[in-house]
Amino acid sequence: MTSPVDDLINVLQLERLEKNLFRGESRDIGSPRVFGGQVLGQALSAAQQTVHGRTVHSLHAYFLRPGDVAAPIVYDVDRSRDGRSFTSRRVVAIQHGQQIFHMAASFQVEESGFEHQDPMCDVPPPEELASAADYNPDGEIPEKLSRFVTRQRPFEFRPVQPPAFVTTEKQPPRQQTWFRVVDRLPDEPDLHRTMLSYVSDYSLVGTATLPHGISFLESNVQVASLDHGMWFHRYARVDDWLLYDCDSPSASGSRGLARGQIYTRDGTLVASTIQEGLIRVWSLKEAREQHRRNRKKK
């Protein structure tokens, strides 16, 4: 059988249909729609395959529609510009004849220059923390979430604080999680960057729910990513432990903003992220009506 890591590598590699056209498959990770990080990683992979001798330093994306896990996704790459130092690409993801996602990414010839960074916060090392899969106090986690948390994954997560799904107590809008790919990866820097973009969508917008004592498990709560920005500062392997330090500076208008910084074990800042997400809490009547509409769409 194919390991979860090998399967994810295959999912991110894509099938080339034409010079600038690619097709990808999806995987069910236990959520009702295609995982946003998968679309992000596949779009970056498509862009990377049209760029040579340069590495991605930033990307900016919008999630437009939920993805269908059962259908392939086509990625159309626009070669916007190839300059002397920078290359720009725009990628549109299409499913069932509609755009579900679009992304702009910028690539740069490697250069040296000034260096500074924020320091990493003081947290316990991953060896002293439990895996997220071990959080199931008294069997209270619903079966649906248990399948999501405990299923075999290409990544292992070790949260510094107890995950939000084990409590609805209001907490400060900040959380840290160690993560890594569970197997050794090939020495291919573009693959490690693609994997990093994939995993960067985990738990980011959820940070904005922490001060409000709500859980995405509740039937009247709707949480969805709206956009995603990412900056790659320095290269890092994702099969070594990395710390994802996330905070949320604001929530308003049914939207929550979250920021993240990703560090190596020695405190080197390798990437920064930012994401705004939709956060709605329906009344019981509204939740029932929304459930009815969703069933009708199926």
Catalytic residues: 201, 225, 275
DSSP 23: E
- Angstrom distance (rounded) from CA 190 to CA 41: 11
Helix (H) or strand (E) holding 286: helix 284-297
The C-alpha torsion from 41 through 44 and 46 to 51, rounded to 10°, is: -150
Torsion 248-216-222-66 (CA) sign: positive
Listing DSSP states for 113-161 in one string gives -----PPPP----GGGS--GGG--GGG-S-HHHHHHHHS--SEEEEESS
What gap in Å lies between CA 97 and CA 155, rounded to an integer?
32
